Each structure stands twice: as structure tokens, then as C-alpha cells.
Amino acid sequence: MTARQVFIALPMFLTMYLFQEAVVNQFRLPGGGFSLFLIFTLVWAILSTPEVAALAGFFGGFLMDFSQSSSGPIGQWTLLMIAASYGVAYFGSGNEGLSGSPLGFTFLTTAAVLLVECAYVLTALLFGLQFGNFDQIAITIFGISTWSLVITPIVLPIFSRLHAITFDTRSKI
Amino acid sequence: MRRDGGGRNRLLLIILIVTALFMITLDLRGVGLLENARSGTQSVLSPFQRAGNVVLTPFKNFFSDLTHLGRTRTQIEKLRSENAKLKAQLITRKSADAALNQLKTILDLAGTAGYKIVNARVISQGSSQSFSQTITIDAGTKAGVRKYMTVLSEAGLAGVVKEVYSNSALVSLATDRTFKIGIRIAGTQQIGILSGQGTRLASLQLIDNLTNVKVGDILLSRGSLANRPFVPGVPVGYVTAVDNSASSIAQSATVHLYTNFSTLGVVAVVLGAPLMNPGDALVPVKPEPTPIPTVTIFVTPSPTPTE
């Protein structure tokens, strides 16, 4: 990933983060709503090589750690997003059936959202955070995953276009 | 070449993971730098959240209406007949009126108890991705808000200040599953602990079994040392169901919280409470049924003409 690509990608991540915090978080949707920024980071990771995905996960998770709604220690989301982004990129790059079709892409993103939220709960429990009863956690995870399943196909063309803009620059130059 | 690339990837991954673990360690050890960075981020975000709140208020009302679609079908049918301009005006007006009413009711509530308060607008609802139920308000340290201060809504307790920044604050709502508050029952003075359950229904655990809790009993906050995090006497909710199972050590009950968390627009942070405990002064007055006027008609037959 060249410095030029980083400078193009950085404002995109920041804008998406700002949109999540200032717009998406304004709505209290049933089932816990969705995290557009989380979807964006994961979609970006699937479209990238594992190396770039890990960097995207690091930066995405770093921003999520600074979100006002993040209750865990700073670094928790960063750690999880590195693992998740590297994982989806590694899994997706060798499997055209998953990352090649919109349907497979959507399911891969949703599965990643589901796993990363489960991992967040488990690691948060290790850090001694409390989330209440199991039923409510299960409902929230199910809700966020369902929303991801609905939202991903809608935003996928935009996100993949943004990714293409960033990584086509080099070849154009 | 391929081996070099793989090695570089692994090295990068290790560096990133170690950095993340390093940040976690620093944060758990309470290093101020990271906490200040989080606070700084919030200070940068709060103007955008405030702007987003202003712009999105009509849309939020729209989504709120959507969630009540089943219950307000008849009303929606009536509303369809109105023209678009009137609807838009109504939404804007409704929003302003609701905020005004909330503010007026909060001031009445705080005035009765003698609380010193600062009003704030809700500028963001917290994301559920981290499994917490929070709101962000547009008052921070500059307005005198400090961590662990009670937050009131028009109906009673809304939550407690969890984090505070220069121009905004993060409020943990009473519905949050980690939220706990010491309460007493108005009248009987029986005490217990109320826990948030993620919805408007909360769980009450009484300390002893000596007296009975009844459906309809009103719960008030018990108050904390130096009034933080909770000032005494704030209405919290009322009992809707009681669990009298013989196996339980202490009585438990389900409580309906007074505050409607989905319509929170204006809240008040209690900066200070009077030395005197307001007692049961803030117990909400039960609505009295409006008497239906009855009309009695006396009919006097007109005298029959006699010849």
C-alpha cells in the first residue's frame, strides 16, 4: 500500500466514521441497529490483500475504540478488527465463490460482523465488563447481524467503488 | 520473493497486534494519554453530532412513527388525508412543542425538589455495537457537569453521567443492562436494588422480605453519599408485576420505568441537591378521571286546554 493510497483511504475512513457517529447513531433502530463503519471496514478488508486488510482493520478498530459508545478498553476493537479484517481477507481472497459474488460477499460480511460482535462480548467479559443477561446479548447480536445482512447489499456498490478509486489510482498514474 | 512477502505480512500483523495489546495494557493501567485522546475525539465529534441531531430530527420522528405503525393505524389513516405542507409544519411544530413540554416538566420536577440543574439536549443515541444503552448530551464540564451526576427526564430518572467532556457528556441510561440504582418504595420506605434490563421494564430486587411490594407501588431513588451518582427522591418507575415464589430469598418485581427513552429530547443534569431530602414530594400524581357531566331534562306536559 503506497503512501498515496493511504492518503486517499484515510479521509474515506474518517468520513465514514464521522457519518456513523453523527448520523447513523442518531437513530435507535430495533434489534440494536447497525454499524455502517464496521461494515465499511470489513467490506474494505474483503476487497483487499491480507496485508492491507490488517492495516484497514487496525485503523478502523482504532477509530471505533474512540467512539463514545465503546465501553471496553482502548485497543479492544483495534485488536478484534485486525484479526477480523485479516481473517476475512485471507478467507475471501482464496475463495471466489464468497468474495466474487454479491451474495457471497454479503454473507461473508454478515458472518464477520456476527463473529466480531461475539468476540467483542467474550473479550469484554475477560476484561471484566458487564453486559447483562444472555438473552439481551443474543438479541442484540442477532439484530446487528440481521441489519448487516440487509444493509450490506445496499452499500456494497458504493464501498467497492470507493475501494476501487483508492487502489486504481496507482495503475492510472 | 514469495517467502519475503509472507514474512513481511506476518511481521506487519505481529506489529499491529502488539500495538493493540500495548494500547489495551496502557488503558487498563489508567494512562491518562489515551483517556485524553478519547475525550478529545468526543470534543471534535460533538459539533457534528449536534448538527446531525438538528438535521435528522424530522426523520427520527418518522422512524419513531414507523415503529408504532400497528398501534396507530387509525391515526395514520386520518393523517393521510392531510396535505404534505401541513404535515411538515406539524412535524416541526411537534418537535419543538415536545422539547418545550419536556423542558417545562423537568423544570417543574427539579423545582419541587429544589435540585440545582442544567438543561441539555440529546445530540446522539449511542450505538448498540458495544452493547450499552447511552445518549450524548450537549452539556459538559463547561456547564458544570461532572461524572456520576443524576440525569432527569420529564418523567423522572433518565440515567447517570458516565463520561464527561468539555462540551458534551455521555449518559448511561437506566435501561442499560449494567445500570443499578438503590431505590425505596414511596410510602412503605422499603429499600431495594433496581437493575436495567435493556428495555423500559427493569428488575427490582428487595433487600428483605418483611413487607410486601404491591403492583402499582411507586419507586423513588434512595440517594447516594454526597448525592453522586444519585440524588434522593427522583421518581424511577412503578411496579407492574411481583414475583412471590417461595424459593426466592428476597422479593423481586418487574418495574415499568417512568421515562420514555425512545423520545428523549431534553434532559437535565442535577448539579446539586438541597440538604433536605425531598421525601415523597416528587411522587407523580395519579391522573384523576374527568367527571362526565350528566344532563337531566325535565319535561313538563303543557296543560291541556279545557273547554
Per-residue model confidence as pLDDT tens digits over B159-204: 999 989 888 999 999 998 889 999 988 888 788 999 998 888 999 9
Closest chain A C-alpha to B90 CA, distance in angstroms: 21
Taking one residue from A and the other from B, the number of pairs with CB-CB distance under 8 angstroms is 158
Instruction: Say yes or no for a CB contact (<8 Å) between B48 and A136.
Output: no
The minimal CB distance from A132 to the residues B60, B129, B198 is found for B198
Residue B115 has pLDDT above 60, yes or no: yes
pLDDT confidence tier of residue B304, bands split at 50, 70 and 90: low
- List CB contacts (< 8 A) between B22 and chain A: 75
Residue B73: per-residue pLDDT: 64
C-alpha neighbours within 13 Å on the C-beta side of residue B80:
6
- Mean pLDDT computed over A154-171: 80
Residue A109 has pLDDT above 60, yes or no: yes
Closest chain B C-alpha to A139 CA, distance in angstroms: 10
Instruction: Say yes or no for a CB contact (<8 Å) between A72 and B130.
Output: yes
Using an 8 Å Cβ cutoff, are B193 and B113 in contact? no
The minimal CB distance from A33 to the residues B38, B56, B127 is found for B127
Among the listed ranges B206-210, B221-225, B243-247, B286-290, which one has the minimum average pLDDT value?
B286-290
* Residue B12 touches chain A, beta carbons under 8 Å: yes
H/E stretch holding B242 reads strand B235-243
Distance CA B84, CA B92 (A): 12
Instruction: Say yes or no for a CB contact (<8 Å) between B27 and A74.
Output: yes
Using an 8 Å Cβ cutoff, are B223 and B212 in contact? no
Using an 8 Å Cβ cutoff, are B232 and B273 in contact? yes
- List CB contacts (< 8 A) between B134 and chain A: 68-69
Residue of A nearest to B198 (CA): A136
Residue to test with chain B: of A14, A17, A20, A28, most B Cβ within 10 A: A28
Distance CA B201, CA B255 (A): 5
Q: Mark A95-122 as b/e (b = at least 16 C-beta within 10 Å).
A: eeebbeeeebbbebbbbbbbbbbebbbe
Distance CA A106, CA B301 (A): 84
The minimal CB distance from A137 to the residues B20, B127, B131 is found for B131
H/E stretch holding B119 reads strand B116-125
Surface of B (219-258) touching A: CB under 8 A: none
Q: Mark B256-274 as b/e (b = at least 16 C-beta within 10 Å).
A: ebbbebeebbbbbbbbebe
Dihedral of alpha carbons A67, A72, A75, A80, sign: negative
Closest chain A C-alpha to B55 CA, distance in angstroms: 9
Closest chain B C-alpha to A173 CA, distance in angstroms: 24
The minimal CB distance from B16 to the residues A35, A82, A143 is found for A82
Residue A171: per-residue pLDDT: 38
The closest of A26, A36, A91, A59 to A166, measured between CA atoms, is: A59
CATH 1.10.287 is held by the domain A3-167: no
- List CB contacts (< 8 A) between A133 and chain B: 177, 197-198
Distance CA B281, CA B182 (A): 18
Distances (CA, A) of A18 to A35, B52, B134, B240: 12, 10, 18, 41
- Grid cell, residue B41, equals 475525539
pLDDT confidence tier of residue B144, bands split at 50, 70 and 90: very high
Per-residue model confidence as pLDDT tens digits over B19-73: 999 988 888 887 777 777 877 888 888 888 888 888 877 776 666 666 666 666 6
Which is more confidently placed, B36 or A75? Answer: A75
* Residue B24 touches chain A, beta carbons under 8 Å: yes
Residue to test with chain A: of B127, B133, B199, B200, most A Cβ within 10 A: B127
Which is more confidently placed, B249 or B269? Answer: B269
Give chain B's mean pLDDT.
Answer: 80
**B228 three-class SS:** coil
Which is more confidently placed, B38 or A87? Answer: A87
pLDDT confidence tier of residue A126, bands split at 50, 70 and 90: confident
Instruction: Say yes or no for a CB contact (<8 Å) between B24 and A75.
Output: yes
Residue A5: per-residue pLDDT: 82
Residue of B nearest to A59 (CA): B16
The minimal CB distance from A69 to the residues B26, B59, B129 is found for B129
**For chain B, percent of residues with pLDDT exceeding 70:** 79
Q: Mark A158-173 as b/e (b = at least 16 C-beta within 10 Å).
A: ebbebbeebbeeeeee
The minimal CB distance from B60 to the residues A21, A27, A131 is found for A27
pTM for the full model? 0.63
Residue A98: per-residue pLDDT: 66
Q: Give the DSSP letter of residue B227.
A: G
* Triad B219, A132, A129: Cα angle to 5°: 120
* Residue B262 touches chain A, beta carbons under 8 Å: yes
Closest chain B C-alpha to A2 CA, distance in angstroms: 15
- Grid cell, residue A138, equals 443474543
From first CA to last CA, the distance across chain B in angstroms is 132
